[in-house]
A = this chain, B = another copy of it.
């Protein structure tokens, strides 16, 4: 089976968060079919060792390649930080995009010099965004802040109640004070807090960089360049594969995606 412009786009994440990427891709490329894989049995990746993350990522990439995808999008920050090369190898000659590269590029494009990065403990400790940003422009000032409560708040559906707003004010307080001009949402769950983040910054102008939108827009340009854009006029299909617990995935998925999930399949992975 060889790929062509009708082949689907493969997107994967350690769990459910990558659906914000799937949503952004569906908006940017409404006629593309998408195969999403969420490793719900082994989430979270952030606490696992580099070699384990690499092993899991290669396994999932081979699964997507087997589904005849024309492009692989790494929608997980932990995988983007430590397993980009492994995924690129496993993807054979397919184009591979990832949220960290896309988010970094979008941040540079704003022209802002004071950049804030928020993410999970693992992403912030890895320093992946900071290193990539400084490599592109060493005159930037980068401040990072781990926000470990935002993922569970998003999964609880508390993205704009008083608990969410108070939590965001505590986390973003130093950014408000030290004049951050652009804020990278370095975790796939965080786009759900965009409105609340704007509320917390009140009058202060802040450019919010959503890696999901950034990677979706990279995907569109790359497919156009490769002449692989789906020429169909029909809305694309989304198929979701998870490694465990489809029911919990379904419940959360509709919140992350803003629409019903039609099909969920379970793929058994080795533990």
Chain A residues with a Cβ under 8 A of chain B: 40-41, 43, 47-49, 52, 55, 121, 148-149, 151-153, 155-156, 158, 162-163, 166-167, 170, 244-245, 248, 271
Contacts and interface: CB of A to CB of B under 8 A. Distances in A.
A142 to B, nearest CB: 23
Q: What number of copies of this chain does the assembly contain? A: 2
A47 B40 CA distance: 8
A145 B152 CA distance: 16
Contacts of A163: 149, 163, 166-167, 170
A251 to B, nearest CB: 11
B162 A156 contact: no
A149 B43 CA distance: 17
Name the residue in A48, A156, A170, A248 with the highest tally of chain B Cβ atoms < 10 Å from its Cβ: A156
Name the residue in A43, A47, A244 with the highest tally of chain B Cβ atoms < 10 Å from its Cβ: A47
Contact of A47 (B43, B52, B158): B43
Contacts of A55: 271
A124 to B, nearest CB: 13
A47 B244 contact: yes
A248 B171 CA distance: 20
Name the residue in A40, A149, A166 with the highest tally of chain B Cβ atoms < 10 Å from its Cβ: A149
Given A47-B245, A49-B244, A153 B162 contact: no
